[in-house]
Amino acid sequence: MSITDHLSPISVNFTLKDHTYDVLRQAILGMNIYHPDVDLRLDERNLAEQLGISRTPIREALARLSQDGLVIILPRKGVYVVRKTRQEIMDMIITWAALESMAARLAAIHATEAALKDLRKFAMKHSAHAARAELAEYSDANILFHQKIMALSGCKLLSKTADDLFMHMHAVRKRAMGESDRASRSVVDHMKIIEALDARDGEAASKLVLEHTMRLHDHVKRTWTRLEQIDQKNSVS
């Protein structure tokens, strides 16, 4: 399990430097970086061979990804996808919970009827993936649902702040969705949130979003002990 599972050759019809960056960024976002056995190392030569291009645009793209905070370049060691520690993940979830709970409160006030109708259609469409245990599809739809609530708040700065957490929140939810009965519980929670928004009950919507996200926090705290052991091992080496 590594980044090469998410790559295919790049077409020459694109601006190579920018497109290489976009392809690698999307591949990283598609990785389950919090899986205990994932390979986080990015090898320039292997990436170049996988994409069918030279190493120069790979090197330039990795430098940009490093500036974005998605990878870390360690001299004489290599390039690695950045993974947060277990404690950092829990702090990040708390931050997301605070942002989205406020977004839900604002969405209950500012979202149009058409926008809320679209949110309900989106949730109902993708709930079938959870019912059929198509967890990869539902995981992607799940994070989009939460991003839609951020957008419905009408507060651009709030949405932008949440976007800075997107990569890691997506990866955390991606792994957690396949654990316990979180997928089916997520569907139920989403519909309750929508009902509160439809009723223009900002307080209820805010509370439901907060509880929903903090259940993810509690799940990570309770069950992701192996990740903590890996973090401790890496900090020593």
Strands 78-81 and 41-42: antiparallel
User: Long-range contact list for 60-63, CB < 8 A, 24+ apart?
Assistant: 60/17, 60/20, 60/21, 61/17, 61/20, 61/21, 61/24, 62/24
Q: Which residues pair with 72 in a beta bridge?
A: 80
Amino acid 227 reads: L
Hey, do 3-81 and 86-227 end up sharing a CATH topology, with the first three levels equal? no
Strands (E), the chain: 41-42, 71-74, 78-81
Q: Is residue 12 very low, low, confident or very high in pLDDT (cuts 50, 70, 90)?
A: low
Question: What is residue 139's predicted lDDT score, i.e. its pLDDT?
Answer: 80
Question: What is residue 129's predicted lDDT score, i.e. its pLDDT?
Answer: 61
Per-residue pLDDT tens digits for 165-213: 888 898 898 888 877 778 888 989 999 999 999 999 999 999 999 999 9
Question: What is residue 35's predicted lDDT score, i.e. its pLDDT?
Answer: 81
Q: Taking 60 as the threshold, does the pLDDT of residue 135 lie above it?
A: yes
In CATH, what class is 3-81?
mainly alpha
This prediction has a pTM of 0.79
Torsion of CA 68, 44, 136, 149, to 10 degrees: 10
Q: Taking 90 as the threshold, does the pLDDT of residue 230 lie above it?
A: no
Does domain 86-227 fall into CATH 3.40.30.10?
no
Each domain of the chain, given as residue ranges in start order, spans 3-81, 86-227
- How far apart are the C-alpha atoms of 108 and 116, rounded to whole Å? 9
- How far apart are the C-alpha atoms of 10 and 19, rounded to whole Å? 8
Q: Give percent of the chain with pLDDT exceeding 70.
A: 87
Q: Is residue 133 very low, low, confident or very high in pLDDT (cuts 50, 70, 90)?
A: low
